[in-house]
Amino acid sequence: MAYVITQNCCKDASCVPVCPVSCIHPVSGAGEFTDTEMLYIDPEACIDCGACLEECPVDAIYYDEDLPADQERFREINAGYFERHPPQTHTPAALVDRHAVKSGALRVAVVGAGPAACYASAALIGVDGVEVNLFERLPTPFGLIRAGVAPDHQHTKSVVRIFEHVFSNKRFGCYLNVEIGSDLTHDELLAHHHAVIYAVGAARGRELDIPGNELPGNHSAVDFVGWYNGHPDHAHHTFDLSGERAVIVGNGNVALDVARMLLLDADHLVATDIAPHALAVLSDSTVREVVIVARRDPRDAAFSAGEFLALGHLPGIDVIIDSTDLAAAPDDDAETELKLRIAREYADRPETAGNKRIVFRFAASPAEVVGSDRAEGLRVMTNGSPEGELITAPLILRAIGYQGSAVEPLPFDTARGVVPNDSGRVVDEDGHPVRGVYVTGWIKRGPRGVIGTNRNCADETVAALLDDFVAGRLATDVADPAGIARLFSERGSSPIGWAGWRAIDAAERQRGAEVSRPRVKFIDITDMVSAANA
Ligand code: NAP
């Protein structure tokens, strides 16, 4: 018997250092290829101690015998990984030797409150003496954990509990409802801190440059995700769910999230923290088929195997694979081989009359959104059909990835949508580090990776920052922190502290409890501020 990592793995590797026999792989820093979708436990080496289960922030680890029916397959998936990637002996990387710093000697501002900002704050607070002030535009923390992770993935959202000790630390200052650039400028931030880490993510959807892209009914999936998750910037969107079919462009994990949200029945949605307006609209939806269109072959699908496998357990929904190119090649890695195997299983399954359908179309490039005054369908180009094929649908969602925006006045790589950097140190156009300015998360490395990927990323940035501090490369003379409060008061800004967020959180949970839901989110910023101050 052994412990097994399942679909929900956030890959932040909290489990790795606590494993006494180092049986969780791949391990960053052990010379292993670490670009996998999740972590795996070697059943041959596991000694059943359960330390990993205790440590997992998202409840993704189960004892073999306790695997829920829809996660059973992960027993074989964990073992299968080690058949192709024999574990390398490694000693867990020693924690970076970070000496305590003198009180007041290193004060760092973190901009943003999503997973990247949270992991950076945690790494900094882990060094005795370091002070951290976090600034976030919204009155609520946690970025994409709150407003990106699909509502039916409530376990994933529970990762926030590992940051509790950070936010309640005496050396941590929390300034929610503060926009850098308007409430406080970059220069003012830097004047009051020895260093600033921008962890502002990538908030926009990538654009698709095809005719008809501007037609109503054709939306970015980023807007749809923000809408169903109650992000204040996206609550106003409207989506036409009156047709039988919706088309999604792109087949990454966002596409799969969106497909599930479009097809799940109201009684499933109501058990989540989906925004009330989205619950009402999706409950009345007539969509019965979602076509997921990808320009490449099944072998290159962007979704992760765990998420793909989970589609097969959705009640009342069939998964249809429109491709015969599903054979694995000898040099496929374990995850690609697994995806192709799952695809073959779906292709072999008989359809159930009356079920809804998720249809995967491969090797079909979007060519045109067709319609006179609103979207009526998507024309795709496929091999062997020079004029293409029209997939009719009144709703088209472009799940083709996120895009970072420039952070004034930092340099910006427009093509990649990232702030140019060297291991997290922001660099100018000559490649020289900009003193005291750092980045982490999607604005540093682009919009790739799951929540826990941000942990390594933040550790790298924080290590660079600490190196610069030790080497005397940071400013030593910064203004009294009380000056920030004076600026807020002069400008009429109303920052919300951690206690304010706790009040919002409690109020949302209370609203949820009244209707047997985990939480009913506030959507309007004024309501959030009122709850924070109540
Ligand atoms: P993604 O994984 O990068 O997928 C983007 C998809 O859009 C790909 O299929 C890509 O195809 C396609 N695409 C891009 N440009 C296109 C174009 N011009 N025309 C047609 N197709 C185009 O992005 P994502 O789904 O937004 O996810 C972002 C990150 O968040 C990923 O790392 C993802 O794993 C993570 N995430 C994880 C979860 C989860 O773990 N449950 C949930 C949501 C998001 P090509 O491959 O051909 O470029």
Number of Cβ within a 10 Å radius of residue 487: 14
Q: What predicted TM-score, i.e. pTM, was given to this entire model?
A: 0.92
503 alpha carbon – ligand 1 mean position (Å): 35
What residues does ligand 1 touch, defined as CB less than 6 Å away? 206, 208, 249-255, 257, 294-296, 300, 302, 304, 307, 366, 399-402, 447-450
Strand pairing class (40-41; 395-398): unpaired
Return the ligand 1 atom nearest residue 148 CA.
43
**Residues 488, 513: Cα–Cα separation, whole Å:** 35
pLDDT in tens, 130-153: 999 999 999 999 999 999 999 999
| Residue position matching structure tokens 């007539």 | 286
pLDDT of residue 27: 82
Confidence of residue 387 (pLDDT cuts 50, 70, 90): confident
| Residue position matching structure tokens 């749809």 | 224
pLDDT in tens, 307-330: 999 999 999 999 999 888 999 999
DSSP codes of every residue in 74-119: HHHHHHHHHHHSPPPP--PPPPP------TTS-EEEEE--SHHHHH
**Residues 151, 261: Cα–Cα separation, whole Å:** 8
pLDDT of residue 18: 87
**Residues 164, 87: Cα–Cα separation, whole Å:** 34
Ligand 1 pocket: which of 254, 304, 369 to mutate (most atoms <8 Å of CB)? 254
pLDDT in tens, 240-295: 999 999 999 999 999 999 999 999 999 999 999 999 999 999 999 999 999 999 99
Residue 429 has pLDDT above 90, yes or no: yes
